[in-house]
Structure 1
Amino acid sequence: MDDQDIEAAVEQRRLWLEHQLQAAADRFGVTTRGDTVNTYDMRSAGRPARTSDGEPVWLRVVLEDPDYQPHCRWDGNVTANAIANVPKPTVHQWADWAAGEYAPGRRVRGEVMDLAPGAAVSQESILHDDPGLPDQWWSDLTAAVAALAAHPVPEPDDFDLAAVIMGHVEAHFGVTLDPALFASLAWTAAHTDLHWANLAGPQLSIMDWETWRRAPAGYDAATLYCASLLHPPTARRVRDTFASVLDTATGRVALLGVAARYLCLTTDDHLQLEPHLHSLGEKLLKQL
């Protein structure tokens, strides 16, 4: 497929997602407004909307994609409604329907959820500059991460995070971890994708709950730390804020797992992170 064919396929997907958004708006009785936001891979699309009562909401549609399951949980945003004391959008309406001829045998999900206050701290997952967040935001984040970790630990799912961490560490550091290591860890409920594009400010809201699941304690703090390494002052603040969990045996495994995971990604930002992640990983391996 040449570049022209790719552009045509992307445009076809964009138009199809626009159609699905309108179908979702009609189904849920909301009126869309503003511009559509597409994920980089054109898997989902969202747009601000208003309910019949004038309440601002976010309308989202996503196409089922076997390449994303089980990493992304089809019902992740909805099941996250049960998590208490964490500022995040609540999903108020949802429904699934067949994708039709565009993607035979696959589903579309539509969701109407709270519109997060403020804006994403960063348009990209990796931070480059001072986010300029107030102290209250950091306090709220600390409390939110603790509340999430206190939520009942989800049952193991088809996405075996321990096996994934072992595979990534072996691929990028040439070290085979003992599977028994993971049996000794503390496991908690975690967002597992707590980067800067999934955090709103200056009033905290944590977005995108498709991948929340059980993870080694400290995995969310480790993710945010690795996503901050290109801005050392913020990385230090994250490290200091969550030192009590990151400076544990489980926290070090969480950091190692996230560092190895980020080394699998190939965006320009992640390539800039490579030397920092390799250095972090080598240090952690000596401490295991």
Structure 2
Amino acid sequence: MDAADIERAVEQRRIWLDEQLVVAASALDVHVIGQPVNTFDMRSAGAVARGERGDVWLRVVVQDADYEPVCRWDGNVEANSIRGVAKPEVLRWHDWQHDHAYLRGRRLRGEVMTLAPGTTIAPGGVLHEDPQLSEAWWKDLRRSLVALAAHPLEPDNELGAVASTISSVEHHFGIKLPESVFADVQWTTAHGDLHWGNLWQPTLCILDWESWRPMFAGYDLATLYCNSLLHPETAQRIRDMPELHTRSGALALLSAISRYLWIAGEGSDWDLLEPHLRTEGEAVLSSLTTETD
């Protein structure tokens, strides 16, 4: 498939997703009033919509086995149980199966959510410049992440985090970590995909709750730190947070670094992070090696 074929396929998918937003709007008794926004992988689309009680966010997502189990079909809805976190609430939803030629048989879900005020901080996920966030915003982020970490852990939903971190570190850094390194790791509930595209300003709101699950304590700050490395002042502010100065925090950093190294080189903003991620990963590995000597 050449570049022109890819461009045509992406455009076909975009048009189709826009059509599915209309289907979802009809089923959920709202009408789209905003310009549709697609995720980079073209798996979902969303737009501002209007209903009887005012403006909301309408989202439609296509079920794709390649994203499971990390992206949970019921993740956004089940996240309604989380308290004390600045996040949208899913008000209602509707599932259906697509029965026309394009992607026939695919399951879709439409969700109506409370509308987050403001705008995303960095649409591509990676921070390139000073976000100029207020101290109140940073305090709200701290409060939200503490509340999230305190949410009861879901059993048997760790998705092989230890094994995947070990294999990823070996692949990217040539070092085989023993499982014993993770013996005393602390687990907490994590958002799982905290980058600057999922954070809103000027009032904090954390979006995209498909991937929340148990993870090494500090993992959300670790992913946000990775996505801040092109703006050293913001990166340092996050790096100085206490969760990243624990053994679990170090392992969370290593896991997040390895994760982003897998997608570096695929033509996104994450490509720019690769040299910084390698430097950070080597430093964390050095500190862990020192501890175990």
So what's the TM-score if we normalise by structure 2? 0.93
* Separation of aligned partners in 2, 1:158 and 1:238: 24
Cα pair 2:158 2:214 within 8 Å, conserved: no
Q: Does 2:229 match 1:229? A: yes
Letter in 2 for 1:285: L
How many residues are aligned here? 285
Letter in 1 for 2:93: W
Residue 248 of structure 2 corresponds to which residue in structure 1? 250
Counterparts in 2 of 1:197 and 1:84: CA distance versus 1, 3 Å: same
Residue 214 of structure 1 corresponds to which residue in structure 2? 214
Q: Which moved more, 1:175-184 or 1:274-283?
A: 175-184
Residue 82 of structure 1 corresponds to which residue in structure 2? 81
Q: Does 2:67 match 1:64? A: no
Cα pair 1:118 1:201 within 8 Å, conserved: yes
Post-superposition CA distance 1:98-150 (Å, at most 9, x none):
12232234210110001111111111211010000000000000010000000
- 1:177: how far off? 1.6
Correspondence for 1:263 among 261, 264, 272: 261
* Separation of aligned partners in 2, 1:104 and 1:159: 29
* Separation of aligned partners in 2, 1:219 and 1:264: 17
Q: Secondary structure at the match of 2:181?
A: helix
Q: Secondary structure at the match of 2:177?
A: coil
Letter in 2 for 1:253: L
* Separation of aligned partners in 1, 2:197 and 2:141: 14
Post-superposition CA distance 1:41-95 (Å, at most 9, x none):
2111111011112x21100101111111112111111111000000100000112
Residue 187 of structure 1 corresponds to which residue in structure 2? 187
Q: Which runs of 4+ in 1 moved over 6 A?
A: none
Residue 35 of structure 1 corresponds to which residue in structure 2? 35
Q: Which moved more, 1:80-89 or 1:116-125?
A: 116-125
Counterparts in 2 of 1:115 and 1:11: CA distance versus 1, 3 Å: same
Residue 279 of structure 1 corresponds to which residue in structure 2? 279
* Separation of aligned partners in 2, 1:275 and 1:18: 37
Cα pair 1:63 1:99 within 8 Å, conserved: no
Cα pair 1:21 1:60 within 8 Å, conserved: yes
Residue 6 of structure 2 corresponds to which residue in structure 1? 6
Letter in 2 for 1:264: W
Which structure 2 residue ranges, 5 or more long, are not aligned?
289-293
- 1:158: how far off? 7.4
* Separation of aligned partners in 1, 2:16 and 2:33: 18
Residue 140 of structure 1 corresponds to which residue in structure 2? 140
Counterparts in 2 of 1:226 and 1:185: CA distance versus 1, 3 Å: same
Cα pair 1:98 1:106 within 8 Å, conserved: yes
* Separation of aligned partners in 1, 2:202 and 2:164: 34
* Separation of aligned partners in 2, 1:254 and 1:129: 25
Counterparts in 2 of 1:7 and 1:279: CA distance versus 1, 3 Å: closer
Q: Which moved more, 1:110-119 or 1:261-270?
A: 261-270
Q: Which moved more, 1:58-67 or 1:155-164?
A: 155-164
Post-superposition CA distance 1:186-229 (Å, at most 9, x none):
00000011111100011000000111111000000111111111
* Separation of aligned partners in 1, 2:60 and 2:180: 40
Percent identity of equivalent pairs: 53
Letter in 2 for 1:272: L
- 1:272: how far off? 2.0
* Separation of aligned partners in 2, 1:99 and 1:168: 36
Which structure 1 residue ranges, 5 or more long, are not aligned?
none
